[in-house]
Amino acid sequence: MEQEQQRKIIHLDMDAFYASVEQRDQPALRGKPVAVGGSRQRGVVAAASYEARQFGVRSAMASSVALRKCPELVFVKPRFEVYKEVSRQIRAIFAEYTPLIEPLSLDEAYLDVTHNLKQIASATQLAQEIRARILAETQLTASAGISYNKFLAKLASDYRKPNGQFVIKPHEGLAFVEALSVGQFHGIGPATVARLHQLGIFTGLDLRQQTEAFLRQHFGKAGTHYYHIARAQDHRPVVADRVRKSVGSETTFEHDLLTHAELLAGLQPILDAVWATSQRTGSSGRTVTLKVKYADFRQITRSRTFLAPIRTPALLTQVSHELLAALLPLPLGVRLLGVALSTLETEIEAPGQQLALRF
């Protein structure tokens, strides 16, 4: 832990990025609940403004559900090329402070500023300066979390959103984690939360009281990760050349899908989510993989690989429909569908590559 505590990690996260860009560029949208995405019946919200979030509207939510929650919601068509250009501006600012930048998507990244290019000792001061630069150059706000590892920095960045920052110091990490509910842990999703609750684990303190062997027994390799983060430990470095292997989405349906029409209806929100993630992360893939799990839990996958990346949602939809059609007639009802894009190509240069040209 002593060596880990010497690290200074900043997690920078743009506030409601897509929606904020639209409100910046269209003054009439300011102060209104805005959703970036499709308003059609089977559309999906890619991003929601803070005004919309007050009504419970969230990203990845079906547009029809979002409209029920907020009838005054204004839908705006995504402009991913604009978002990518703004992301380039922001990453150029990061690169003036450190070469150790690990982008997670167009709107967030980890920065290791332990040894930074400005030679500023205070990570708090650095985060304030970077956020001020982003605001001055893009007219957009960012939030920051500062700590001695990635796990805590990510948690901290949510603590003062929007347009704020929060520090978790080395001597504060353990107490901070033990007070959290397991649902607040980054990387622990609803299904895992339900399993933890079944085991009587509700808080970080509850999690810390479990042995590593117990957690591995119930959660496999992830159990070791849970064991360490419950102790406020995260030894993962900030990796500048981090490569995403795939983007995907899947849904387990409340009732088994039995007809071709039901399959197509169930598949569309999944395709929308995959495309939105692909655009948000600035990556495109050459391989489309369809995942199907039948009512008896038997699972199959079917893939198709192209020479060039999938550049349009229409092509992604067409290929997925063809892979699905090849499985008809159904031997059983379908309880889960998933789609993934792999063999990815990144459209935005990695920060490490940009810096290599500078030096």
pLDDT reported for residue 358: 24
Task: Find the angle CA(237)-CA(105)-CA(266) to the nearest 5 degrees.
Answer: 125
Q: What is the pLDDT of residues 211-254, one digit of tens each?
A: 999 999 999 989 999 999 999 999 999 988 655 678 888 888 87
User: In the structure, what pLDDT confidence band is assigned to residue 161 with cuts at 50, 70 and 90?
Assistant: very high
- Can you tell me the mean pLDDT for 71-84? 92
Q: Which residue is listed with tokens 């997925």?
A: 320
Burial of 298 (0-12, 13-18, 19+ CB in 10 A): exposed
Does residue 1 carry a pLDDT above 70? no
User: In the structure, what pLDDT confidence band is assigned to residue 17 with cuts at 50, 70 and 90?
Assistant: very high
pLDDT reported for residue 62: 84
Compare 274 and 10 and report the one with higher pLDDT.
Answer: 10
CA distance 294 to 302: 14
Q: pLDDT above 70 covers what percent of the chain?
A: 92
Does residue 355 carry a pLDDT above 50? no
User: In the structure, what pLDDT confidence band is assigned to residue 37 with cuts at 50, 70 and 90?
Assistant: confident
Least confident piece of the model among 167-176, 305-314, 346-355: 346-355
pLDDT reported for residue 242: 58
CA-wise closest residue to 173 among 314, 26, 9: 9
Annotated catalytic residue within 72, 108, 129, 322: 108
Does residue 39 carry a pLDDT above 80? no
Q: What is the pLDDT of residues 79-121, one digit of tens each?
A: 988 998 999 999 999 999 999 999 988 899 999 999 999 889 9
Neighbours of 315 (CB within 10 A): 13
Half-sphere exposure for 73 (CA within 13 Å, toward CB): 31
Burial of 83 (0-12, 13-18, 19+ CB in 10 A): buried
pLDDT reported for residue 205: 97
85 in catalytic set: no
- Can you tell me the mean pLDDT for 178-207? 92
pLDDT reported for residue 244: 63
Specify the DSSP class assigned to residue 16: T
Mean pLDDT of the chain: 89
The pair of structure tokens assigned to 222 is 């992830």
Q: What is the pLDDT of residues 123-160, one digit of tens each?
A: 999 999 999 999 999 999 999 999 999 999 999 999 99
Q: DSSP labels for 192-223?
A: HHHHHHHTT--BHHHHHTS-HHHHHHHHTHHH
- Can you tell me the mean pLDDT for 195-200? 95
pLDDT reported for residue 96: 93
Q: DSSP labels for 306-322?
A: -SS----HHHHHHHHHH
- Can you tell me the mean pLDDT for 280-298? 87
Give 75's strand partners: 35
Q: What is the pTM of this model?
A: 0.70
CA-wise closest residue to 230 among 214, 250, 253: 214
Does residue 71 carry a pLDDT above 90? yes
Does residue 186 carry a pLDDT above 90? no
Does residue 122 carry a pLDDT above 60? yes
Does residue 51 carry a pLDDT above 90? yes
- Can you tell me the mean pLDDT for 269-280? 86
Q: DSSP labels for 146-162?
A: EESSHHHHHHHHTTT-S
Q: What is the pLDDT of residues 243-270, one digit of tens each?
A: 567 888 888 887 889 999 999 999 998 9
Least confident piece of the model among 56-65, 123-132, 319-328: 56-65
The pair of structure tokens assigned to 135 is 């605001």
- Can you tell me the mean pLDDT for 53-80? 91
